């Protein structure tokens, strides 16, 4: 499963818009992606680059069905894939090896999204690295701000790649990486997902692709990456060099903090014939779905262990696809809704607000959810937890230690009480 057949499927289903006018890398790509925020956009004529560019590759739940090729049970299919990842097949070579050049960002269609951004940004690249002294791969999405033709500064959050980098740095070593661009959206979903201990995101991606994923080792550093992608860039995260990264508009639609981050030195770029480059517009639907949907599945799996039935989990667009959840459950006992909220915070530590409703409330209908909050949450139904570790993306957090409030709203019907049923439909 690769990008090109996916684009053909989107075109046949009227999800693809092609822009043949010449577009500028600075801000103009953003304008087209905003205007066509419910369609995938293919730019065939980007200034200063002969490579076409796509954005909005996954912008709706309807498109998600096409991505996972599961039109009825796509949500449960994703959950089962999280639980049962499968190791992909390794192959000897790849069409991505068809062309090899010295890395040069000036040839690639890399946008500057908003006024105030620190520069042009690679926002959609998936970074592959290996844990020191092992063959165990890590796969994660990181933004890279372009510094010059071969270098960028990468935002590395304190997760697995950060651990790999620090371990190498401690030994005075750079961290070899391979970066892919131009890929099937399943790879981005897998890269954004929590994976079981001892399993890699590549195993999850293969499970989501129903066993059709193959991997190949990169020529310079021998890092395992998916074989059927448009671009592979090989380089190193430098152990002893860092510089300012940002400003950058992140998922909340506000500027993330400016930080000193490691510099990445790229060596080679490999690419297919007629390769297609890829970008993600920050703080819009694709960003929300790629970050939020895997967390919904993780919350669903965890909450299902404490209540009789989970009917749905939704990280809302108004909560930036990250900070606010609505969870529909069947409850049995007083206090179940609070347990659901606490479990959701454990499953997704960045979560800030959690509203728990019953199955009669459509979690995708904001009007219905608001009605449940107003009519079913009373004096004892709102729990506020203070000074709890939260998201570094939350502008209202305590910036000294990244703590914030966490709020649980029990908007369920209460056992033994009447008057909660809505007579008039929404």
Give the active site residues: 250
Helix (H, G, I), strand (E, B) or coil at 376: helix
Instruction: Report d(CA 418, CA 426) in Å as an integer.
Output: 20
C-alpha to C-alpha distances, 3 to 75, 135, 306, nearest whole angstrom? 22, 27, 39
What angle separates helix 74-83 from helix 285-303, to the nearest 10 degrees? 70
Neighbours of 177 (CB within 10 A): 26
Instruction: Report d(CA 205, CA 202) in Å as an integer.
Output: 5
Who contacts 386 (Cβ-Cβ below 8 Å, separation ≥6)?
405
DSSP-assigned letter for residue 23 = B
- Concatenating the DSSP letter of every residue in 57-120 gives SS-SHHHHHHHHT-TTTHHHHHHHHHHS--PPEE-S--GGGGEEEE--GGGS---B-STT-SS-
State which H helix or E strand residue 344 sits in. helix 336-347
Token pair for 85 = 């990842």
């Amino acid at each position: 499963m690769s990008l090109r057949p996916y684009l053909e499927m989107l075109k046949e289903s009227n999800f693809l818009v092609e822009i043949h006018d010449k577009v500028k890398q600075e801000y103009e790509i953003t304008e087209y992606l905003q205007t066509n925020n419910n369609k995938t956009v293919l730019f065939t004529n980007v200034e200063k680059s002969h490579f076409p560019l796509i954005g909005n590759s996954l912008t709706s739940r309807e498109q998600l069905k096409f991505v996972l090729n599961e039109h009825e049970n796509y949500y449960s299919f994703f959950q089962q894939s999280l639980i049962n990842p499968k190791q992909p097949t390794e192959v000897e070579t790849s069409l991505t090896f068809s062309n090899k050049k010295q890395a040069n960002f000036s040839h690639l269609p890399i946008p500057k999204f908003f006024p105030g951004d620190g520069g042009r940004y690679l926002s959609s690249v998936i970074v592959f690295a290996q844990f020191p002294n092992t063959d165990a791969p890590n796969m994660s999405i990181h933004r890279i701000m372009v510094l010059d033709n071969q270098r960028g500064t990468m935002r590395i959050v304190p997760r697995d790649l950060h651990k790999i980098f620090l371990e190498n740095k401690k030994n005075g070593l750079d961290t070899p990486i391979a970066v892919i661009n131009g890929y099937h959206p399943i790879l981005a979903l897998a890269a954004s997902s929590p994976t079981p201990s001892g399993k890699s995101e590549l195993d999850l991606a293969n499970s989501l692709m129903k066993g059709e994923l193959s991997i190949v080792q990169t020529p310079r550093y021998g890092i395992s990456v998916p074989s059927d992608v448009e671009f592979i860039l090989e380089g190193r995260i430098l152990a002893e060099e860092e510089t300012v990264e940002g400003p950058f508009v992140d998922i909340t639609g506000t500027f993330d903090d400016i930080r000193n981050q490691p510099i990445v030195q790229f060596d080679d770029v490999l690419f297919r014939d007629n390769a297609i480059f890829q970008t993600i517009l920050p703080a819009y639907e694709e960003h929300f779905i790629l970050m939020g949907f895997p967390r919904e599945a993780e919350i669903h799996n965890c909450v299902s262990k404490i209540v009789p039935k989970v009917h749905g989990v939704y990280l809302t667009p108004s909560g930036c696809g990250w900070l606010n959840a609505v969870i529909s459950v069947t409850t049995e006992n007083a206090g179940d809704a609070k347990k659901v909220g606490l479990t959701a915070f454990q499953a997704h530590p960045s979560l800030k607000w959690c509203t728990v409703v019953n199955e009669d409330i459509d979690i995708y209908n904001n009007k219905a959810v608001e009605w449940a909050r107003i009519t079913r949450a009373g004096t004892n139904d709102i729990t506020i937890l203070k000074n709890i570790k939260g998201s570094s993306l939350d502008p209202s957090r305590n910036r000294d230690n990244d703590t914030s409030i966490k709020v649980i709203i029990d908007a369920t019907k209460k056992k033994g009480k009447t008057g909660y049923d809505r007579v008039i439909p929404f």
